[in-house]
């Protein structure tokens, strides 16, 4: 019998993390994400986990990196200003290849912005916020149920691909209550990082298996020697200025995500078979969008719906394929036009792309999107 | 620097009525009492927090003085820039007035995320006063623990339950940390006595160079107290020596109030909802003992620093 709960999105993320095996949370309270920290503070000690409230978001990110290196699945959660503060340490996690999950419950920005209002302004920051090149895995849930399910997926992806995985939730989703069914997870559904399969003397910490470009990860205290650094390093983890070694590391960092792109990318569609107009939306906006598309269909307009579940990697091939037979793609976003750039890049001019921006702190109402569908129809 | 409250009763506060802080909140009282006796023109720098968000609800501002909101972690750095620009403009003859700079931050923005920024500003020696309105937690985001939260407090990220009796760590001694910067003026006070707050802040503002004042203020909502008890609860904090009041002038420590009678810490803790769990069961009794022991230890240290031997009567 599955257990059923009536949760906020933030609660679903916290319990999803616990179900995924998360046993450490390091973070700092910030609206509208604080409930995640509060639940972890209460629940982690009950499962022999550890919650630490850090002195700021920078420290929160650093602590989860440390905890992950020590061997625990680790989570941190924040919102806009905190996401900005975490960026440098996020880069460290990409460089040192440390699995962690970071949740950003998006609010309006820039700066302190709108702490209690919804926005989707951190989409490009999620991709490019920290300096330097790296692959990004970023999920965008659109329901409370999905908050739970995606958090499990995010931990699995972090463990499998040995890097930080981001979840971009938003203020509405974080505080909205919906029914959640907690499916029983058996151990085979949970991924754990690859452990070294050689004796400590033979261990080369960043030597990747050519089959997957992923090195095995030891934990501190296991007896395996591992030099962890944010400096560009060679297979032994030591800083290097050797052009060959530098290129090898950088190319592999990108490749370990690129080659599994099709495994990672997720999306949802509705009414796309005969659609002439496509509404592409993510997060809470996807809910208003689907409602608008249903309304259009009921009035005989051939509208379809596309929702990237992974914002990064972006489902560009899939969007491109659809664009071949679609006249117009509408991209409603709670920002001044971020993901629409990615859609334009993907469709190569095959269909017209219309940006619809809303930056007043409110969520789109379905009829606002429906109106644009009507205009382009 | 004795002041007479009577002399200032007709003076307009830089913070006007009509702001949206809770009835009984200690933050606006700290602003009113603190700035009451300051005669110079002021610029106020405010870190993110209750005081900032509730005094500037669009389209209104409750501030009658130039006021800047920085982010959460950078009020010390923000005021550094403002003060440095003022010095430069004054040198070039663009400003003739003697302007003073006062920064307000809560304990979250001061003890935790803003400590680095505050420390930098104190060390560089800018002429400004930093006032921490310390309500011992992240009250603006819903009562999470901060490093100013006392041991044994029930907070949302250090919840009291059947196993763990609230926060286990002792509060950081930020006033001593500020004093360790060897700045000309540091003080600790609470809203127990209007003249003490007014005198200390006046002295801080009028002292050239950096000054730091740590004011214990209640949060009605999350301390779980009657809004009418603002001054009483602060008085108990001082009388129980939970929050001793003192100043450090050019490195000289001085007790500014000596409680005559020994008052047990329970008198301060009991009226507060956040300590309800300490008055139940064995674990609670242990925490109360610990709280009293913490006070006695800190008191001995403080007396040593002040070169005093004062002990309240039993």
Over range B190-207, report the average pLDDT: 96
Per-residue pLDDT tens digits for B118-144: 999 999 999 999 999 999 999 999 999
Q: Indicate yes or no: CB of A34 within 8 angstroms of CB of B145.
A: no
Please tell me the distance from the alpha carbon of residue B247 to that of residue A366, in angstroms, as a whole number: 61
For each of the domains in chain B, give its residue range(s) and CATH number, in order of start: 5-306 (3.40.50.970)
Is the pLDDT at A2 greater than 70? The verdict is no
pLDDT at B182 over 80: yes
Measured CA to CA, the distance from residue B255 to residue B298 in angstroms comes to: 13
Domain end position, chosen among A245, A261, A277: A261
Q: Are residues A211 and A312 in the same domain?
A: no
Is residue A14 within 8 A of residue A156, CB to CB? The reply is: no
Specify the number of domains making up chain A. Answer: 3
Structure tokens belonging to residue A222:
């296991």
pLDDT at B131 (0 to 100): 98
List B43's β-bridge partners, or say none.
Answer: B101
Are A258 and A137 in contact by the 8 Å Cβ rule? The answer is no
Q: What residue numbers bound the domain in which A214 lies?
A: 200-261
CATH number at residue A329: 3.40.50.920
Q: Which of A239, A261, A283 is the last residue of a domain?
A: A261
Residue A127 confidence (pLDDT) above 70: yes
pTM (2 decimals)? Answer: 0.90
- Provide the mean pLDDT of chain B: 96
* Residue A62 CB neighbours (<10 A): 19
Q: For residues A243 and A115, state if they share a domain.
A: no
CA within 13 Å, CB half, B62? 19
Q: What is the structure's pLDDT at B1?
A: 63
Give me the residue from B71, B112, B161 closest to A55, CB to CB: B112
Bridge pairing between strands A3-8 and A177-182: antiparallel
Q: Do A55 and B48 touch (CB under 8 A)?
A: no
Burial of A16 (0-12, 13-18, 19+ CB in 10 A): buried
Residues of B within 8 A of A38 (CB-CB) are 142, 144, 156-157, 159
- Cβ contact B159–A56 (<8 Å): no
Output A315 or B6, whichever has higher pLDDT. Answer: A315
* CA pair distance A82, A58, nearest whole angstrom: 8
- Assigned domain for A94 exists: yes
d(CA B185, CA A235): 54
Could you tell me if A283 and A254 lie in one domain?
no
Rounded distance between C-alpha atoms, residue A6 and residue A4, angstroms: 7
Q: Do B142 and A111 touch (CB under 8 A)?
A: no
Put simply, the answer to whether B72 touches A112 (Cβ < 8 Å) is yes
Task: Answer yes or no: is A195 within a domain.
Answer: no
The answer to whether residue A256 sits within a structural domain is yes
Structural domain contains residue A194 = no
Beta bridge partners of B118: none
A105 domain-assigned: yes
Sheet harboring B185-190: ordered strands across? B67-69, B42-46, B100-106, B129-134, B211-216, B185-190, B246-249, B252-255
Q: What is the pLDDT of residues B240-268, one digit of tens each?
A: 999 999 999 999 999 999 999 999 999 99
Quick one: tokens of B187? 């003080």
A231 and A168 in one domain?
no
The beta-carbon neighbor of B145 closest among A53, A81, A115 is A53
Interchain CB distance below 8 Å, B144 and A85? no
The runs of H, that is alpha helices, within chain B are 26-35, 50-55, 75-91, 107, 115-124, 174-179, 194-206, 220-223, 230-239, 266-269, 281-306
Positive or negative torsion for Cα B200, B205, B211, B217: positive
Same domain? For A75 and A151 the reply is: yes
Q: What percent of chain A has pLDDT over 90?
A: 98
Residue B169's nearest CA partner among B296, B291, B301, B297 is: B291
Q: Are strands B185-190 and B211-216 parallel, antiparallel or unpaired?
A: parallel
Going from the C-alpha of A47 to that of each of A12, A24, A67, A220, A287, the distances in angstroms are 17, 10, 16, 21, 35
Same domain, A17 and A71: yes
- Candidates A55, A83, A108, A361, partner chain B, best to mutate (most B CBs within 10 A): A55
From the list A29, A45, A115, the residue facing B164 with the nearest CB is A45
Q: Cα(B164)–Cα(B278) distance, rounded to whole angstroms? A: 11
Residue of B nearest to A60 (CA): B113
Q: What percent of chain B has pLDDT over 70?
A: 100
Residue of A nearest to B146 (CA): A55
Write down which residue in A246, A261, A276 finishes a domain: A261
Q: Measured between alpha carbons, how far is A111 from B228 in angstroms, rounded to an integer? A: 36
Say which residue the tokens 């330097």 belong to. Answer: A132
Among residues 82-111 of chain A, which lie with CB inside 8 Å of chain B?
85, 111
Query: What is the pLDDT at residue A139?
Result: 98
Cα torsion angle, B125, B131, B134, B139, sign: negative
- Percent share of chain A, pLDDT over 70: 99
Model pLDDT for residues B90-101, shown as the tens digit of each residue: 999 999 999 999
d(CA B274, CA B286): 16
Angle, vertex CA B182, rays to CA B178 and CA B188, nearest 5: 40
Report CB contact under 8 Å: A42, B159. Answer: yes
From B72, B142, B145, residue closest to A81, measured CB to CB: B72
Compare all CA atoms of chain B with the CA of A110 and give the residue at the minimum distance: B71
Cross-chain Cβ contact B142/A38 below 8 Å: yes
Task: Say whether both A185 and A310 belong to one domain.
Answer: no
Do A146 and A39 reside in the same domain of the chain? yes
Contact call for B156 and A34, based on CB within 8 A: yes
| Cβ <8 Å between B71 and A111 | yes
Residue A161 and residue A224 in one domain: no
A37 touches B at CB < 8 Å: yes
Question: A156 in helix, strand or coil?
Answer: helix
Instruction: Give A-chain residues touching B157 at CB under 8 angstroms.
Output: 29, 37-38, 41, 51, 53
**Chain pair A-B, CB pairs under 8 angstroms:** 50
| Shortest Cα distance, chain A CAs vs residue B159, angstroms | 7
Helix (H) or strand (E) holding A371, with range, is helix A366-376
Q: Which residue of B has its CA nearest to A30?
A: B141
Do A251 and A280 fall within a single domain?
no
Asked if residue B37 lies in contact with residue B202, where contact means CB atoms within 8 angstroms, the answer is: yes
Residue A338 placed within a domain = yes
Same domain for A254 and A318? no
Q: Are residues A26 and A145 in the same domain?
A: yes
Average confidence (pLDDT) over A235-241: 97
B71, B142, B164 member nearest A34 (Cβ)? B142
The predicted structure's pLDDT at residue B233: 98
Residues in chain A with CB shorter than 8 Å from the CB of B109 are none
Q: Does A45 touch chain B (CB under 8 A)?
A: yes
Q: Do A28 and B113 touch (CB under 8 A)?
A: yes
Scanning every residue of chain B, which has its alpha carbon at the shortest distance from the alpha carbon of A112? Answer: B71
Q: How far apart are CA A196 and CA A212, in angstroms?
A: 15
User: Given an 8 Å threshold on Cβ–Cβ distance, is B72 in contact with A37?
Assistant: no
Place of tokens 């209640």: B218
Model pLDDT, residue A1 = 47
A window 1-30, beta carbon within 8 A of B? 28-30
B2 pLDDT above the threshold of 90? no
- Chain B residues whose beta carbon lies within 8 Å of the beta carbon of residue A34: 141-142, 144, 156
| Integer Cα distance of A8 and A268 in angstroms | 22
Q: Where does the pLDDT of residue B313 fall: very low under 50, low under 70, confident under 90, or very high at 90 and above? A: confident
Query: B1 and B203 in contact (C-beta within 8 Å)?
Result: yes
């Amino acid at each position: 019998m599955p257990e059923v709960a009536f949760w906020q999105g933030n609660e679903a993320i916290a319990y999803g993390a616990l179900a995924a095996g998360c046993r450490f949370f390091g973070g700092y309270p910030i609206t509208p994400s604080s409930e995640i920290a509060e639940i972890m503070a209460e629940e982690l000690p009950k499962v022999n986990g550890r919650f630490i409230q850090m002195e700021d978001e920078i420290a929160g990110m650093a602590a989860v990196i440390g905890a992950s290196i020590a061997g625990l699945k680790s989570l941190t959660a924040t919102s806009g200003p905190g996401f900005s503060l975490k960026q440098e340490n996020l880069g460290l996690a990409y460089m040192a290849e440390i699995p962690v999950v970071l949740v950003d419950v998006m609010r309006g920005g820039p700066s302190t912005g709108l702490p209690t209002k919804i926005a989707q302004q951190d989409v490009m920051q999620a991709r490019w916020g920290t300096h330097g090149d790296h692959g990004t895995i970023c999920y965008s849930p659109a329901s409370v149920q999905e908050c739970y399910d995606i958090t499990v997926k995010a931990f699995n992806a972090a463990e499998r691909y040995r890097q930080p995985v981001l979840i971009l939730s938003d203020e509405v989703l974080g505080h909205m209550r919906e029914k959640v069914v907690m499916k029983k997870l058996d151990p085979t559904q949970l991924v754990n990082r690859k452990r070294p399969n050689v004796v400590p003397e033979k261990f080369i910490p960043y030597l990747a298996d050519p089959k997957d470009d992923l090195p095995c990860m030891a934990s501190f205290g296991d007896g395996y020697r591992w030099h962890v650094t944010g400096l560009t390093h060679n297979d032994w983890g030591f800083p290097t200025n050797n052009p060959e070694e530098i290129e090898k590391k950088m190319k592999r960092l990108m490749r370990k995500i690129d080659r599994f792109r099709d495994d990672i990318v997720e999306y949802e569609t509705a009414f796309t078979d005969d659609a002439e107009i496509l509404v592409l939306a993510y997060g809470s906006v996807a809910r208003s969008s689907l409602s608008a598309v249903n309304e259009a269909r009921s009035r005989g307009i051939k509208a379809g719906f596309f929702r990237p579940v992974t914002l990064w990697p972006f489902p560009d091939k899939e969007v491109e394929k659809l664009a071949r037979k679609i006249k117009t793609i509408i991209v409603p976003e709670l920002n001044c036009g971020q993901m629409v750039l990615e859609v334009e890049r993907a469709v190569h001019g095959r269909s017209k792309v219309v940006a619809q921006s809303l930056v007043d702190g409110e969520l789109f109402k379905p009829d606002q999107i429906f109106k644009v569908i009507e205009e382009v129809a | 620097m004795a002041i007479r409250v009577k002399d200032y009763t007709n003076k307009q506060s830089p913070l006007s009525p009509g702001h949206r802080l809770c009835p009984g909140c200690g933050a606006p009282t700290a602003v009113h009492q603190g700035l009451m006796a300051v005669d110079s023109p002021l610029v106020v720098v405010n870190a993110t927090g209750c005081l900032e968000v509730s005094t500037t609800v669009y389209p209104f501002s409750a501030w009658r003085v130039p006021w800047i909101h920085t982010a959460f972690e950078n009020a010390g750095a923000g005021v550094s820039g403002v003060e440095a620009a003022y010095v430069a403009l004054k040198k070039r003859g663009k400003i003739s007035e003697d302007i003073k700079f006062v920064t307000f931050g809560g304990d979250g923005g001061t003890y935790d995320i803003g400590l680095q920024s505050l420390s930098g500003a104190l060390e560089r020696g800018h002429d400004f006063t930093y006032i921490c309105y310390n309500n011992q937690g992240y009250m603006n985001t819903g009562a999470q623990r901060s490093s100013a939260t006392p041991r044994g407090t029930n907070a949302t990220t250090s919840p009291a339950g059947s196993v763990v009796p609230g926060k286990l760590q002792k509060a950081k001694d930020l006033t001593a940390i500020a004093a360790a910067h060897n700045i000309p003026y540091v003080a600790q006070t609470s809203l127990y006595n209007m003249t003490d707050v007014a005198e200390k802040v006046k002295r801080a503002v009028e002292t050239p160079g950096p000054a730091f004042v740590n004011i214990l203020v209640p949060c009605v909502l999350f301390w779980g107290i009657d809004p009418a008890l603002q001054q009483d609860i602060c008085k108990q904090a001082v009388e129980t020596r939970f929050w001793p009041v003192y100043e450090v002038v050019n490195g000289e420590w001085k007790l500014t109030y000596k409680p005559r009678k020994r008052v047990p810490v329970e008198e301060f803790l009991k009226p507060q909802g956040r300590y309800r769990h300490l008055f139940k069961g064995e674990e609670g009794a242990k925490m109360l003992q610990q709280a009293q022991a913490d006070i006695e230890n800190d008191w001995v240290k403080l007396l040593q620093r002040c070169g005093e031997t004062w002990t309240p009567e039993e």
